[in-house]
């Protein structure tokens, strides 16, 4: 494939993280977002803040959403390129790491 000299170089976009919010009324909302912190220490601080918050605040597509945590039944996050060791460094000590979902 030829590329025009004035076009920006082709580059791979890093994988997006995703979260699916499952609300107590049975509805759900899925979002994609870029990495929110650059280091394990920053991630750990963000997770600690997140776990004690009463609201989830999301900026998406120019809109600000403030969601009461009491309306969220559970959340499912993706974490591309994070192995069990990396996860254990940022999650609370009581987190279960390396689990598999069984039906």
Of residues 12 and 51, more confidence is placed in 51
Tell me whether residue 48 is in a domain.
yes
Q: What is the pLDDT of residues 23-32, one digit of tens each?
A: 999 999 999 9
- Rounded Cα distance between 57 and 50, Å, is 10
pLDDT band at 14 (very low <50, low <70, confident <90, very high): low
Q: Indicate whether 9 belongs to any domain.
A: no
Q: Does 2 reside within a domain?
A: no
Which domain range does residue 70 map to?
Answer: 17-90
pLDDT in tens, 39-89: 878 888 888 888 899 999 999 999 999 999 999 999 998 877 667 777 778
- pLDDT score of 11: 55
Confidence of residue 15 (pLDDT cuts 50, 70, 90): low
We report the CATH number of the domain holding residue 75 as 2.30.30
User: What three-state secondary structure class fits 67?
Assistant: strand
Domain count, the chain: 1
pLDDT attached to residue 3: 45
CA distance 10 to 5: 11
Give pTM, 2 decimals: 0.73
Cα(45)–Cα(43) distance, integer angstroms: 5
Distance CA 65, CA 2 (A): 42
- Flag whether 28 is in a domain: yes
């Amino acid at each position: 494939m030829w590329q025009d000299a004035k076009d920006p170089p082709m580059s791979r976009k890093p994988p997006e993280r995703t979260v699916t919010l499952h609300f107590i009324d049975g509805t759900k909302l899925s979002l994609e977002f870029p990495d929110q912190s650059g280091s394990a220490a920053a991630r750990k601080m963000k997770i600690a803040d997140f776990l004690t918050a009463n609201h989830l605040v999301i900026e998406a597509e120019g809109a600000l959403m403030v969601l009461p945590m009491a309306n969220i039944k559970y959340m499912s996050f993706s974490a591309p390129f994070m192995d069990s060791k990396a996860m254990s460094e940022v999650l609370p000590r009581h987190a279960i790491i390396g689990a598999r979902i069984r039906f």
